[in-house]
Amino acid sequence: MTPRRPRRFRAAPILLAASLVACGGPGSSRDDSGPLSGWPEYGGDKGGGRYVLANQITSANVDDLEIAWIHNNGDYSDGSDGSARTSFNVTPILVDDTLVFCTPMNRVIAIDAETGEDRWAYDPVQEQTRLPDPHTRVCRGVAYWEERDEAVRARPCGRRIFTATLDAQLIGIDATTGEACRGFGVDGRVALREGIGDAEMWEYYTTSPPVAVGDVVVVGAMVYDNLRVDAPPGVVRGFDARTGALRWGWDPVPPDYAGPTPADGSYTRGTANVWSILSADEELDLVFVPTGNASTDYFAATRQGLDHFSSSVVALRGSTGELVWTFQLVHKDVWDYDTASQPVLFDLETDSGSVPALAQATKMGHVFLLDRRTGESIFGYEERPVRQDGVAGEVLAPTQPFPTHIPPLHPSALTPDDAYGFTPWDRAKCSELIARYRYDGQPFTPPTAEGSIQYPINMGGANWGSVAIDPERGVLFVNMTRMAGSIEMVPRAEFDALDDKASRWPFQLVPQNGTPYAVRLAPLLSPLGAPCSPPPWGSLTAVELASGKILWDVPLGSPRERAPWPIWWLWSDLGSPNLGGSIVTAGGVVFIGAGTDNTLRAFDAETGQELWSHHFDHSANATPMSYRLRRDGRQFVVVAAGGHAWSDAGDALVAFALPER
């Protein structure tokens, strides 16, 4: 493990007297009236709505935001010591007046929410330091649970933080002291590798937060993609929040499955895993599970039906793990279009009344609106015929589901004439590249040995940043990457004969052992590094939920930090690939980082106009959060700016607020 730098705290700089008078005197843009607001869950609430009730920050005063404090945790690595590099993509949660978050080394840290000063830290000393390319060490968040009885809640561990680690442990921590809850599991830990069977440590681990449903803590895990057909199981499990005892395990195996079943009592190998963020409705006793792919991602014929629950959103009974309903978003997924986005819960107002709804965004740029009680589509959808002529021996679905209420938010047209380049020369090269590969004009073009275009690329469309929903305006906000990639199926004999099988993200060669094909993956880029698909390469879109109408669609990000000067300076509206999500406030402001250009931005929720931005030393590929604790206090917007695969590694958690009076 990389040695840790000493933790340090930096307060906001002292303002000049003239600034204090201008910001705090008569005519100040800051309003101390209005509601308070918390952030008790990863997505703001258990439904992941990412809506902020506080309205002190508005479209009229957001340009006055300044840094309130910066917290540096010291847990980062650039990989130069041989360990995996880190990505600081966390979204903290707010417990009373304390922010709690995890670092890429799986330390859990609590700090004062208004000053950024340290309160406690828990170090599990996790053992996982090496991960295969392109994966980085990351922990996206933690979960909170408390006893219902006030007297019991006041006892040690009556209020708990749950975190899951890269070495596959579920840990319970006292939310007040940061001490391990010794009565949970064994000395505060539950081993998530039990029942998983033979697997390397780097093949099975957890990066996303658990979720508490009643007195059950539910957690999934990430399974390393495309290594072998018999990958570790994708089981989702619920544990007793007090004792850590296993309450239930959902093994995503179809009812008519006739394949091999482990004889040792472990879970079924090769099933769809659940690596992303879960949601919950405690009143309905439901947990909503976004599923990944059954093994392997790019070849379906060897799955023996285990893709029955792949690339779906699944509702399980929180108390028992019973399957309630499932809605598949991609049939026989051979594009790595797994369900990366957190299912987002909201109440949809219709002519016939309010419907408990769920919005599910996908990597294809689709957004499905479902009744979260039943899984039925509220406005309907279409099963449209798609091509089935993939590689020899493949078994593909004859149709794929398309939403009809909200139109696809990612473009589908891509021809040689659409090619982009920074110069006429590299544009011509992109045109040749697009012409070289097969593309059927839709995202379900089958992978081929000759090479096919994947548009959008396998990172999305929408990814784990999911969507934000403003319940007052009835508007959904979603950010997307708009890039194309290529998929080449490499026959096994050809792959075995290769001398160099090195894989370096984003240009990957993956073995898919147990299938007839390995896979070569790459983004479509010009010789100068420009995406060959037309810009913007990143977007932020607002959609009216009741009508499905697109209200606005604007570029998100710029080529800054990636393209040479003066290209990014001359063309700042090109957008950029993005990972991370948005939040929306009652003050009418949408905050989002997500891009490759190390910038947090604020947009007007009504118009999409960019109102404010701040540039960091590292990219802010995390979903922000916001809160206001006191009537005479400030509303804070907090984001982790600690880099990702495309940025240097960092460790800064940065808070913004309007000026002090």
The residues carrying an active-site annotation are 336
Q: Which two tokens stand for residue 37?
A: 């607001």
Tell me the C-alpha distance between 584 and 581, whole Å.
10
Give 27-94 as a DSSP string.
T-S----S--B---STTSSTT---EE---SS-TTTGGG-EEEEEEE------STTSSPPB-B----EE
> How many CB atoms within 10 Å of residue 459?
20
Q: How far is CA 586 from CA 35, 81, 349, 652, in A?
A: 9, 45, 18, 27
SS3 state of residue 416:
helix
Tell me the C-alpha distance between 175 and 180, whole Å.
9
Amino acid code (one letter) for 258: A
Q: Which two tokens stand for residue 355?
A: 């419907």
- Name the β-bridge partners of 95: 98
46: which residues sit within 8 A by CB, 6+ positions away?
Answer: 211, 213, 279, 280, 281, 282, 345
Q: Which two tokens stand for residue 117?
A: 């000063």
Evaluated on CA atoms 367, 368, 370, 374, the torsion sign reads negative
Q: How far is CA 328 from CA 254, 400, 567, 573, in A?
A: 13, 9, 42, 35
Nearest partner of 344 among 161, 483, 543, judged by Cα? 543
Please say whether the beta carbons of 531 and 484 come within 8 A.
Answer: yes
